[in-house]
Structure 1
């Protein structure tokens, strides 16, 4: 579900001098955010990247600490509005370097069902987690969610010490430690990437312009 209420870029007022940077919430690699900023025709200095925890993803937005945040798949949060897709993030799995699949150039989600994955973390929406870690493969095999999903450091520790698999996104390759392997998943479609913001009071003018520029520069076509 998308709900884009931002005015087109050519109908927005100019950004006055001294306007603060857009506070953009990200989780994981900053490379995806950087690509969205470039596609929007913006300079990196116009946007401040602020990390958020996956266990409580919307806290910063609702607390007024973020202006807008990167989200994947559709949201059904009544207080949040969502842009059109601004990018795509291909699917991948992260495993430890010791894992039986670590030498594969690519994998099928059917292969991943042989190993245990991660449970939905904290307040993260379960309906989105079902997209990230499908309960079943296309052939009906159950994907076992056995491990707790916490911090990125904790996740990497679990992957290092077990045969767990983390179904995730190719963009995380930029921050994966050397002891991890990030392998493309060939039979899950890329995740649509959008921007989300508080519906009330709505984005400030400079944030609205950034959202519109990101939609106009979208690579999700």
Structure 2
């Protein structure tokens, strides 16, 4: 396999991520790009599109379709398995998998800040398939605050398996076997003049996911 060229700063793709670059780095590698081609720029879940709208990013990782009028979403470039995040003391912590029906036994988290409500309903369903209410009680702010609360209570967060790469050892990531994986896509501002190298990356990432 030929060596990939080291990019100049003008060739760098500014890619927005939340929580971990683990998932995004898999997308980059699958597209055939060197990790040095990308600058990973974190965004907060309370204001997920603020860095994009401020021009700090070219593109960002999104789960599902945010249905925001000024945001364009690519075809899926990957998938992320579903999981619950719990403290090591939690009754579900040592399970190999759990059902979403069991989630209703514990307090979860509210939709944070400016996060799209339609997407949060897919991340943290308001009800289980059998009609049980999932109690969205706690405020969601930052990842450190989430970790602190999970470590001190029996709350849980319905989330994604990719977070296993960044959470401390006292927080467990337990797969949910009856929720489908989330589609992962790239998003950018509608009408934005994306540089040619960024458009090429999006196209390569989409093509890699179709293989």
Q: Bin the TM-score by the shorter chain.
A: over 0.9
Specify whether residues 205 and 103 from structure 1 end up closer, same or farther in structure 2 by C-alpha distance, changes over 3 A only.
Answer: same
Q: Counterpart of 1:218 in 2: which secondary structure?
A: helix
Cα distance in 1 between the residues matched to 2:206 and 2:143: 29
Q: Counterpart of 1:19 in 2: which secondary structure?
A: helix
Counterparts in 2 of 1:1-221, with a 5 A limit? 19-218=10-209
CA root-mean-square deviation: 1.3
Q: Counterpart of 2:62 in 1: which secondary structure?
A: strand
Residues 30-65 of structure 1, C-alpha deviation per residue, up to 9 Å, x if partnerless? 110110000000001111100000000000000000
Residues 105-138 of structure 1, C-alpha deviation per residue, up to 9 Å, x if partnerless? 1100001110000000000001100000000001
Cα distance in 1 between the residues matched to 2:80 and 2:22: 11
Instruction: Output the TM-score relative to the length of structure 1.
Output: 0.90
Q: Counterpart of 1:124 in 2: which secondary structure?
A: coil
Cα distance in 2 between the residues matched to 1:23 and 1:201: 14
Residues 49-101 of structure 1, C-alpha deviation per residue, up to 9 Å, x if partnerless? 00000000000000000000000011211111110000000000010001011
Cα distance in 1 between the residues matched to 2:72 and 2:80: 20
Contact 1:96 1:180 in 2 (8 A): yes
Cα distance in 1 between the residues matched to 2:102 and 2:8: 54
Contact 1:19 1:206 in 2 (8 A): no
Instruction: Output the TM-score relative to the length of structure 2.
Output: 0.94
Q: How many residues align?
A: 205
Contact 1:25 1:51 in 2 (8 A): yes
1:20 Cα deviation (Å)?
2.9
For structure 2, which runs of at least 5 residues remain unmatched after alignment?
Answer: 1-6
